Amino acid sequence: MNAFSMTPGRFDLLLIYKLDRLGRSARIILNAVYDLEKHGIKIRSMTEPFDTGDPSGRFLLTILAGGSRPGKGNGSNRAARAGKWLGSIIPYGYIVNTEGYLEINENPLPGVNMTEADVVRLIYRLVAEEKYSTIKVADYLNALCIPTSYAKDGRKMRKGIRKVNTAGIWRPGR
């Protein structure tokens, strides 16, 4: 199913982190914006000051789209087409296998009778079927003492020049 065979009117806003997450070339970005707006969906960026609802925002969108950078190179593109994980933090519920591909993580979590994959399935069920808000989901996961990725892996976050432990709790924004 492609993005435009969805139920009409189900979404009215697409919130993206940064414009280059929508596409890697100006043509792809502008075509995507055009297609989304044709279906009544506005686009806003969390990090860039444009709003496709007004002319100045559309002008800024065009400028920002022109500055988006192309892919990292043939090696990365080839690996991505093959389905390999290209790096960064591994999404919760997955592990990277020995060949470099993402796999569903069915390993048990410490201290609870669940796997990361079970937690992801639980989150989707709570949001999609039970209509939980992100605040309610975070509260529920914290009440079950389900470890976050950082807490489970013992990772630290940078705070200034030091690395410190995280609070190890689920937050609505995550």
pTM of the model: 0.51
At 1 the pLDDT is: 43
**Torsions phi, psi for 165 (to 5 deg):** -65, 150
Delimit the domains of the chain by residue range: 3-66, 74-104, 106-174
CATH class of the 3-66 domain in this structure: alpha beta
Residue 65, token pair as written in the block: 């789209």
Q: CA 56, CA 33: separation in Å to the nearest integer?
A: 15
Which alpha helices (H) appear in 71-133, and where do they start and end?
A: 74-81, 116-128
Q: What is the pLDDT of residues 112-136, one digit of tens each?
A: 999 999 999 999 999 999 999 999 9
The residue type at 92: Y
